[in-house]
Copies of this chain bind each other. A is one copy, B any other.
Amino acid sequence: MMDLQVKLPGLNLKNPVMPASGCFGFGKEYSRFYDLSLLGAVMMKAATGTERLGNPTPRVAETSSGMLNAIGLQNPGVDKIIAEEVPFLAQYDTEIIANIAGSTIEEYKEVAKKFNDAPEVKAFELNISCPNVKEGGIQFGTDPDMAKEVTTIVKRASDKPVYVKLSPNVSNIVAMAKAVEEAGADGLTMINTLTGMQIHLPSRRPLIANKTGGLSGAAIKPIAIRMIYEVREQVNLPIIGMGGIETAEDVLEFLLAGANAVAVGTANFQNPLVMPEIINELPKTLEKYGFSSVHDAIGKAVFV
């Protein structure tokens, strides 16, 4: 039998497939479609210090082979998530990863501290694509120094492994990865969405009420693969890869490029069963291309 297991800091994944943060809520809805114990892990929706209502609607728009979203971190706040959502997910035999967001470094720290006391949460994903309100909206995720700072603080505030989620909206993804590596990150998740806009012709307004939104889906897969390749060549952290994954072959492409595991976001909307289907397909796909395990495929693309 094909070995699909992957061991990463804090995470024993029975297979390398998990939902991407924000595309799966806290799992309840998709648990109506299948048993969440099938998943390698669950990345929860972003948590902030207190409840956030998010952006006005429309919050999503369709694009060619992709979509824009500007949900705006709507979430019930870390306390309620720990009290009401984590226990639900903890019923399943899967690893729970908390996605941490904030508009100030203090907020990141506070959320990390609270999740640190939740034993069911095995690792953190640090969402640094949020604009820093204190610094006038500059994203933590596009400035290496700010990314370093927030990573350092969160590392100090908790014992759990920290995966920093990189934004693709940067000139130099390797510099971002190196900055958070220096700050002690245990891993990377990449990529978050690319900032985009669509204008609705009849109203002459941006279709997304927030004006810009994050582009996800198959359209961005080549950018994700390129960035993972670049980072893998120069940084030693494990990578959870994402961006446009729809099939088991896509998963293999990410593994070859250097991802140790993968997350599926937008594709859940098209097909709520996409993750169990991919997990089911993966052994055949690995075999077809001559691999004997997931581990065997990681980073095996030939670049010379």
Contact = CB atoms under 8 A, between A and B. Distances in A.
B253 A199 contact: yes
A298 interface: no
A215 B204 contact: no
Contacts of A244: 64
A205 B302 CA distance: 5
Contacts of A199: 225, 253, 256-257, 301
A195 interface: yes
Contacts of A143: 171
How many subunits of this chain does the assembly comprise?
2
B197 A225 contact: yes
A169 interface: yes
Contacts of A206: 229, 301, 303
Interface string A263-304: 000000000000000000000000001000000000011110
A195 B226 contact: yes
A206 B303 CA distance: 7
Contacts of A197: 222, 225-226, 229, 257
A249 interface: yes
A253 B203 CA distance: 11
A301 B208 CA distance: 13
Contacts of A63: 218-219, 221-222
